[in-house]
Chain A
Amino acid sequence: LAKTTQPISMDSYEGQEVNITCSHNNIATNDYITWYQQFPSQGPRFIIQGYKTKVTNEVASLFIPADRKSSTLSLPRVSLSDTAVYYCLVGDPSFGNEKLTFGTGTRLTIIP
């Protein structure tokens, strides 16, 4: 299982773009990169998933360089409601029963 490293915490002001980078030097060929968000006392919520290059949805963008040893979650124009813990997970989802292995995540605090 590829180990991930991400900053423990980040602060940002409302309206800014926030980029959270995750390192996963040992990523395997079949691994995907997935980001989850967790608010206090709630279950994690899927944000975005990608394999290579760039993925964008209505919530975020995910940038993955060619070597795939890192990835960057980009949240455009954050608001106070984006204050949460963000987890970067790496794994092979081709097995449906694959468990998710959460690290400590990045605690993002949005400042008014």
Chain B
Amino acid sequence: EPEVTQTPSHQVTQMGQEVILRCVPISNHLYFYWYRQILGQKVEFLVSFYNNEISEKSEIFDDQFSVERPDGSNFTLKIRSTKLEDSAMYFCASRLQGRATEAFFGQGTRLTVV
């Protein structure tokens, strides 16, 4: 079964450092997303990406965040200057297209900011 893969599985970084979280969506999918989940809380939408541009972003996705699909296969989330409150599980997801298609989620990257 095709799957979304994320690397690394766990990242520890110091406050103020930049991090890049990587995702390889399913190859024929066209819509890409990042979500995050703070420990014990809901899964929250961050950003959606289609046709090489951001389709929608949440209030969480401020200027410290950026996304990129640099080479047609990888989909990255960059946090420029991490804060303690950025500590969370970050999930990448992708969808094919058309009505009623499911989103496939990766296993997540656990980001710990110290």
Interface residues of A (CB under 8 A from B): 32, 34, 38, 41-46, 49, 51, 87, 93-94, 96-105
Q: Is the CB of B108 within 8 A of A41?
A: yes
Judge whether A41 and B110 touch: CB under 8 Å: yes
Q: Which residues of A contact B97 (CB under 8 A)?
A: 96
Please tell me if the beta carbons of B100 and A45 are within 8 angstroms of each other in the complex: no
A to B contact number (C-beta, < 8 Å): 66
* A84 CB to nearest B CB, Å: 13
Closest approach, in angstroms, between the C-beta of B24 and any C-beta of chain A?
A: 14
B97 to chain A, nearest CB (A): 4
In the assembled complex, 19 residue pairs joining A and B whose CB atoms fall closer than 8 Å, in A order, are A32-B99, A34-B102, A41-B89, A42-B107, A43-B108, A44-B105, A46-B102, A46-B103, A51-B100, A94-B99, A96-B31, A96-B95, A96-B97, A96-B98, A97-B56, A99-B56, A100-B33, A101-B45, A105-B42
Q: Is A44 a contact partner of B101 (Cβ separation < 8 A)?
A: no
* Dominant SS among interface residues on chain A: loop
Q: A41-B89, A87-B43 are in contact. List 18 more A-B contacts (CB 8 A).
A: A32-B99, A38-B43, A43-B4, A43-B93, A43-B105, A43-B106, A43-B108, A44-B43, A49-B102, A96-B30, A96-B96, A97-B55, A97-B56, A100-B33, A100-B35, A100-B43, A103-B42, A105-B42
